[in-house]
Amino acid sequence: MAIETTEYKRCSLVKMDGRIDSNTGDSLMDAFNAVQENGIFKLVFDMTDVDFMSSKGWWVLIQTQKACKRYNRGEIVLANVPKKILDSLDLVGMNHYFKIFDDVVSAVGYF
């Protein structure tokens, strides 16, 4: 598992690979928190290389979305969500809480 953060002019990009589950979810939460502590609330989460995500992952994303949207200061958007993960988000209606982009360029270009 690796988590990488890149800061751009209008947003930061967080990329994680492998599994997001009860074992790794907290590390992702830490990464999002670290970005927010730098005063950045416009986030792109690049899911290209995520191959599994349990509900632990959504809650990390939901908590991050809540923090980002507070005071209208920003938003977290998702990019390149693998089909199987998207299907499971759809199943519980979690997809409603996030803008989802087909590619990272569009997601960064959105901010």
Partner 1 sequence: MASKVFPGEFSSLEKISDFIEKHAQICGLDENATYAVRLAVDEACSNIIEHAYGGEGLGNIECTCNVLEDGLEVVLRDKGKSFNPDDIQEIEVGIPLEKLGNRGAGIFLINKLMDEVHFEFSKQEGTTLVLKKKK
Q: Does 38 bind a second copy (CB under 8 A)?
A: no
The sheet with strand 12-16 has its strands ordered as 3-7, 12-16, 42-46, 75-79, 100-101
Q: Does 54 bind partner 1 (CB under 8 A)?
A: yes
Q: Does 105 bind a second copy (CB under 8 A)?
A: yes
Task: For residues 31 and 48, give the distance between their C-alpha atoms in angstroms, rounded to a whole number.
Answer: 17
Task: For residues 96 and 37, give the distance between their C-alpha atoms in angstroms, rounded to a whole number.
Answer: 26
Q: Does 11 bind a second copy (CB under 8 A)?
A: yes
Contact residues for partner 1, defined by CB under 8 A: 19, 21-23, 52, 54-56, 58-59, 62-63, 65-66, 69, 84, 87-88, 91-93, 96-97
